[in-house]
Structure 1
Amino acid sequence: MGKIILIIFKNTNTPLTSIKKMISSVISIGLCWSMLSCGPDFRDKERADFDVSLLTQSSQLQLSGEYEALIRLNIEYLKKAARMKYTAGKGLCYLNMADVNISAGNYEKARFFFNKAEKDLVKSGNMFHKATFYDDYSLYYSHLKINDKAIECNDKAFYYLKQAKKTTLTQKLLPRLYINKGIYYAWKGWSGTSLKCFIKANLLENSAYSNCMVAQYYLFIHKPDSAGIYIARSDEKMLSQKTTDVESLWVYYTMGYYYNEINNSEQAEKCLKKALEINIRTRRTYSSHIKEVYKALADLYKKKNDGGKAYFYLKKYMEEEGRFDAARFAAMNKATEDFISEVKQESDWHKNDLPLFIALSITVLTVSGVYVRKVIHVQRQKKNRLKKQTEDLKNHVHTKQREEVIQLARSNDSAFLLKFKELYPDFVKVLLDINPDLENSELSFCAMLKLRFSAKEIADFTFVQHRSVQQKKYRIRKRLNIPGETDIYEFFENLPQ
């Protein structure tokens, strides 16, 4: 650069001393700019901008269910953090990946990313980073239903957030810490403290979501009148503020639950269907919510005496709950294995250390075994209750469908055979296996015998003489090779349904 300037000034007959002074000034300016750009203030601002941009965009993509875009964004920021030599920035990327795996129910993957994030964030001098890490870790434990650990991590998040500089990010995190604490305390049965947390969060945030969480608390303790006040506020905020898909989902779910409690089934169905619609769109990043929507829909249709739909959604709920239970147990087992592995690595395997290692291993296995057995027992009781509900609904649906089919037979409706096939799908198939040449009229006759209509009833319903029904019975015996000594009703009763 100096050579170029020298040539230019030579051509303009500028004195050499002036040229040297100008070169010196250019170099000085360059050095000053370099020092300023590498100074602590500039670096802190660059890192703060990195945090805000990454966390804001990641949250938006996760809440809208855009999984691929979320992955691409965090890969891009991982590279950016490496170029900036910003270790905590890499940790935030790992934490985002842990978040999305928690909400999708992939707990083992979440633990992997937490381990990577912990190395980069817990040692960070930035208190907000530590608060964010422990907040997300508390959510991880809450998903595993380990509430004491969730509360412990939540307390650590509060501790570090109080020491953090006040920024847009810290102001946004504080009410969410209170909401999470309220949830954990509610599960522990500490209702008074739980309500204080939700109220505090709502005072700080006053959003559709924070109002919705207060409403959920009142529904949880069976006070629908109080819940209704906050439901109305949630609805109003959802219209006046920008609300993300996942938060809208949770608001609609709560509204549906509320309307079902006050027996407004039409409005409840509308809200829950809206929640389900959003959840289908966002389930790649928030699949953990869908089971609650299924359960609420099952309760709604059971209340409406619509057994078919109630059974369908209860079955969906049980499938989702089973999937999450399996993921929880896998994560707990992995955590136990990691602990034992850590003890192995830290032991020198001297004779004096061996008894200590054995004692620690036995303690860990015993404690984890007792905890897992307790969780399994609770889950088994829950599944037994759900299984009974499912069986009751299934029987209710079958009884209702049978009554509808009997009514169709009594009114000699042409839809009788079609509906009968839906109720007993294998019955007609077995008859046609015995004799493929059976006509629809004969299949309908067999169906009426299956329903144990007497010859007189069949005659009355089909407008024929009693003698004609007896002749049909005789003909059916021959067509299906039913022995004379076999009761025809028992024959049809014993066929697969």
Structure 2
Amino acid sequence: MREKNWIDFKDKKKRIRKIIVCTICMGLFFGMLSCSQNSHDKEKEKENFDVSLLTQSSDLQLSGEYEAFVRLNIAFLKKAAKMKYREGKGLCYLNMAGVNVSAGNYEKARCFFNKAEKDLEHSDNAYHKATFYDDYSLYYSHLKLNDKALECNNKAFQFLKQAKKSKLAQRLLPRLYVNRGIYYAWKGWMGTSLKCFKKGNTLENSAYTNCMVAQYYLFNHKPDSAGIYIAKADEKMVNQKTTDVESLWVYYTMGYYYNEVDNRDEAEKALKKALEINIKTRHTYSSHIKDVYKALAELYKKKNDGGKAYFYLKKYMEEEGKSDAERFATMNKATEDFILEVKQESDWHKNDLPLFIALSITVLTVSGIYVRKMINRLKQKKNTLKEQTDALKNRVQTKQLEEITDLAKRNDSSFLLKFKELYPEFIKALLEINPDLENSELTFCAMLKLRFSSKEIADYTFVQHRSVQQKKYRIRKRLNIPGETDIYDFFENLTE
């Protein structure tokens, strides 16, 4: 009996042990299932964060809504901090870097790139790194460092191949091809460039990608081939809801095309539309505006409208000057930072000191050579532009001078008004000598400034020669011109 009770006790103990083991196993299983579910939920939350942030940011940037763009990224920065999503913060910084590159603010862009890199360098998400290197390649392209731009573009391709399939990855791939086409074009590798543009266009087939293929053909003076892609871009712009910046590209490319085929009225319409959009979007996308100004200057030069050609050439030179200043400031800062970084890493050990000195000298030498080349190239470019500007200015002044001379000969009442526009300082100087001069006296002085003889003035104003001589005498008294001074030389030298 006692033995049977002992056996029953042992059986119960085994059953209890089995129940405990099963309970623990089930607890572990459900715990793992719960962790897995939580992990999946977190990954899904991060993915939604990325899609929402990047889609909305892109839409606002391409619409030129800078304030809304900044507010959006600040909101997502706070959201990323709450989620403890470091890579999300990095994407916000990357967005800010990208918008500053597009606006030509390269120094600020570089600061945001540095912040983005710290948050994205350890990311397991290959798409994040592909996006980072794509934006960085555009930054280097704006600085005209095309080898560095291609290097970053290659890294972006490598990481995108590793990234899982998604709408974001699908949207990035054609843009990488288009950007690569731009960098190869700047390097003069035209065949490779065209292949990249066509590959990007095959994948995306948008108004923008068709424009890029068209611009390639226009750059290589093949307007017939360009016209095919411009027609496609125009059709997509009309039938689809394109962003402001995409529409800007279409109108600019159309203007470029019409200018090439000598349809100047259509070129003017398209370029004016491009300028209108670019002024609207310049807070987020101003780097293209100088090309629009240049195209307008070339157009009006062809139309023999020297005034407008001169105006837009000046605007182009101003924008180009701003870009050059930003590029140089950024390159100088990058050189200083590199030297500082080497200095900190060396810790000033005796063995490291020669390495530091050698690296510093190398960086300074290479930077100096590059900057010197850039300066020489820019000087040549500015000299050419200055010659063009001066030539246009002279043409404008000659044309205006012909117009006011003709008005004077016809005794037109608008003569003095037009004369003031051409010689504002002359009239100002006369009134400083004698503020009480009447319009009729100012008109007479203007005709003397144009070196009309007394006989010519008499003929054009329908008065006698003697009356003109009397007017000259009165003007001498009113302006205190000495008797020994030639009146024509007085007016010629008045504003010098």
**Which one-letter code corresponds to 1:230 in the other structure?**
Y
Q: Does 1:348 align with 2:337?
A: no
Q: Does 1:364 align with 2:366?
A: no
- Tell me the distance in 2 between the aligned counterparts of 1:322 and 1:361: 29
- Tell me the distance in 2 between the aligned counterparts of 1:307 and 1:330: 34
- Per the alignment, residue 93 of structure 1 pairs with 92
- Tell me the distance in 1 between the aligned counterparts of 2:64 and 2:141: 21
Deviation at 1:272, TM superposition (A): 0.9
Deviation at 1:29, TM superposition (A): 12
CA contact (8 A) 1:427 1:496 kept: yes
- Per the alignment, residue 57 of structure 1 pairs with 56
- Per the alignment, residue 149 of structure 1 pairs with 148
Give the match's secondary structure for 1:285: coil
Q: Does 1:435 align with 2:443?
A: no
Deviation at 1:436, TM superposition (A): 2.2
Give the match's secondary structure for 1:263: coil
Q: Does 1:131 align with 2:130?
A: yes
Give the match's secondary structure for 2:202: helix
- Per the alignment, residue 35 of structure 2 pairs with 35
- Per the alignment, residue 467 of structure 2 pairs with 468
- Per the alignment, residue 69 of structure 1 pairs with 68
Q: Does 1:266 align with 2:269?
A: no
5+ residue gaps, structure 1, are: 1-26
What are the superposed Cα offsets for residues 36-57 of structure 1, whole Å, 9 maximum, x if unpaired?
Answer: 5412x33222211111111000
Give the match's secondary structure for 1:38: helix
**Which one-letter code corresponds to 1:465 in the other structure?**
Q
Identity of aligned residues (%): 79
- Per the alignment, residue 491 of structure 1 pairs with 490
Deviation at 1:399, TM superposition (A): 0.8
- Per the alignment, residue 16 of structure 1 pairs with none
Q: Does 1:212 align with 2:211?
A: yes
CA contact (8 A) 1:256 1:270 kept: yes
What are the superposed Cα offsets for residues 57-115 of structure 1, whole Å, 9 maximum, x if unpaired?
Answer: 01001111111111111111112222222221111111001001111111111111111
- Tell me the distance in 1 between the aligned counterparts of 2:63 and 2:33: 41
Superposition RMSD on alpha carbons, in Å?
1.7
- Tell me the distance in 2 between the aligned counterparts of 1:181 and 1:123: 26
What are the superposed Cα offsets for residues 107-163 of structure 1, whole Å, 9 maximum, x if unpaired?
Answer: 111111111111222321111111111000000000111111001111111111112
- Tell me the distance in 2 between the aligned counterparts of 1:466 and 1:107: 67
Deviation at 1:35, TM superposition (A): 3.2
Deviation at 1:478, TM superposition (A): 2.1
Deviation at 1:453, TM superposition (A): 0.8
Deviation at 1:33, TM superposition (A): 8.2
- Tell me the distance in 2 between the aligned counterparts of 1:46 and 1:439: 79
- Tell me the distance in 1 between the aligned counterparts of 2:475 and 2:78: 78
CA contact (8 A) 1:215 1:226 kept: yes
- Tell me the distance in 2 between the aligned counterparts of 1:358 and 1:259: 56
Give the match's secondary structure for 2:446: helix
**Which one-letter code corresponds to 1:152 in the other structure?**
E
Written as runs of structure 1 = structure 2, the 5 A alignment for 1:290-301 is: 290-301=289-300
**Which one-letter code corresponds to 2:148 in the other structure?**
K
With over 3 angstroms needed to count, the CA separation of the structure-2 counterparts of 1:47 and 1:496, relative to structure 1, is same
Q: Which moved more, 1:327-336 or 1:239-248?
A: 239-248
- Tell me the distance in 2 between the aligned counterparts of 1:422 and 1:198: 49
CA contact (8 A) 1:122 1:129 kept: no
- Tell me the distance in 2 between the aligned counterparts of 1:386 and 1:344: 42
What are the superposed Cα offsets for residues 283-339 of structure 1, whole Å, 9 maximum, x if unpaired?
Answer: 111111111111111111111111111111111111111111111111101100110
- Tell me the distance in 1 between the aligned counterparts of 2:136 and 2:164: 21
CA contact (8 A) 1:421 1:428 kept: yes
- Tell me the distance in 2 between the aligned counterparts of 1:400 and 1:280: 30
CA contact (8 A) 1:245 1:278 kept: yes
- Tell me the distance in 1 between the aligned counterparts of 2:73 and 2:480: 71
- Per the alignment, residue 24 of structure 1 pairs with none
- Tell me the distance in 2 between the aligned counterparts of 1:73 and 1:478: 71
**Which one-letter code corresponds to 1:254 in the other structure?**
T
- Per the alignment, residue 48 of structure 1 pairs with 47
What are the superposed Cα offsets for residues 226-264 of structure 1, whole Å, 9 maximum, x if unpaired?
Answer: 111111111001011221111111111111111111111
Number of residues paired by the alignment?
470
- Tell me the distance in 2 between the aligned counterparts of 1:219 and 1:317: 20
Deviation at 1:28, TM superposition (A): 11
**Which one-letter code corresponds to 2:175 in the other structure?**
R
**Which one-letter code corresponds to 2:261 in the other structure?**
I
**Which one-letter code corresponds to 2:156 in the other structure?**
A
What are the superposed Cα offsets for residues 425-465 of structure 1, whole Å, 9 maximum, x if unpaired?
Answer: 01112112222222211111111111011111111111111
Give the match's secondary structure for 1:351: coil
- Tell me the distance in 2 between the aligned counterparts of 1:236 and 1:197: 23
- Tell me the distance in 2 between the aligned counterparts of 1:461 and 1:379: 50
- Tell me the distance in 2 between the aligned counterparts of 1:493 and 1:363: 58
- Tell me the distance in 1 between the aligned counterparts of 2:446 and 2:278: 43
- Per the alignment, residue 391 of structure 2 pairs with 392
Give the match's secondary structure for 2:287: helix
Q: Which moved more, 1:218-227 or 1:477-486?
A: 477-486
Give the match's secondary structure for 2:301: helix
**Which one-letter code corresponds to 1:360 in the other structure?**
L
- Tell me the distance in 1 between the aligned counterparts of 2:477 and 2:89: 80
Q: Does 1:419 align with 2:431?
A: no
- Tell me the distance in 2 between the aligned counterparts of 1:124 and 1:432: 72
- Tell me the distance in 2 between the aligned counterparts of 1:314 and 1:442: 37
What are the superposed Cα offsets for residues 371-424 of structure 1, whole Å, 9 maximum, x if unpaired?
Answer: 111111111111111111111111111111111100100000000011111110
- Per the alignment, residue 177 of structure 1 pairs with 176
Q: Which moved more, 1:477-486 or 1:243-252?
A: 477-486
Q: Which moved more, 1:70-79 or 1:365-374?
A: 70-79
- Tell me the distance in 1 between the aligned counterparts of 2:427 and 2:241: 56
- Per the alignment, residue 314 of structure 1 pairs with 313
- Tell me the distance in 1 between the aligned counterparts of 2:279 and 2:347: 52
Q: TM-score, normalised by structure 1?
A: 0.92
CA contact (8 A) 1:122 1:133 kept: no
- Tell me the distance in 2 between the aligned counterparts of 1:73 and 1:473: 71
- Tell me the distance in 1 between the aligned counterparts of 2:123 and 2:29: 33
Give the match's secondary structure for 1:436: coil
Give the match's secondary structure for 2:284: helix
Give the match's secondary structure for 1:288: coil
5+ residue gaps, structure 2, are: 1-26
CA contact (8 A) 1:336 1:368 kept: yes
